[in-house]
Structure 1
Amino acid sequence: MNSITQELLDARLETIETRMDGRIANVEVKIDGKFAEVDAKFAELRTDMHKGFADMTKWIVGTVIGVAAVSVTIMTFVLNNAAPKSAPTQQAPIVVYAQPPVVAPANQPETTSKH
């Protein structure tokens, strides 16, 4: 076996260290790139979720307004047509005729009754 000198060992370790530093830097770049991709995907997902919530809110509000309008229409129809409408009854007018005064005839004798 050959004996390795300190200088040769240091040179080999330095070469390995340089190679490892390059690999670690490469891995860091890849990891940073992946994190950037994940951040972009999360931002896109966040945007899609906000849009989805806004669309869902619009649909819910529209549906509630539609159901309310249909309910009011049905209730109005039912209440207007449920019971037959009776014609308003008017009382017959009260007519008072003035009667001429009763005058006793002058030619007739008075009868007195005796009991």
Structure 2
Amino acid sequence: MTEPRKLPVPQGNPETAPFWEAARQGKFMIKRCTACGEPHFFPRSICPFCFSDKTEWEQSSGEATIYTFSLMRKSPTGPYAIAYVTLKEGPSLQTNIVDCDMDKLRIGQKVKVVWKPTDGAPLPFFTPA
């Protein structure tokens, strides 16, 4: 039996520290601009829509829909699925789809966040809902 792949420790910075602290509590955080109302991910202090610095943290439901995906069947670490998912709150992000039958993945499929441990904060991935 092969040993599970060891995931890298996330390298945060002061701007993303609240995201990683919430991750330790199993919470997936996004930012929302209070000037234009748009949610965004990855978390950053400047809104990518209106360039305002009036952003605040908001907990995401962790629910998403697969927008597109690609299956990597030949890899030194084994097969994996990489995808863009659209969060229920609106932002899209690139992620891996884990703990699933890759042959059953479909565009439009509902997924949810799942946390995988590292030697630091856990990393968010998505799995079929």
TM-score band, normalised by the shorter chain?
under 0.3
Pick 1 or 2: higher relative contact order, CA cutoff 8 A, min separation 6.
Answer: 2
Instruction: Return the structure number with greater strand share.
Output: 2
* TM-score when normalising by structure 1: 0.13
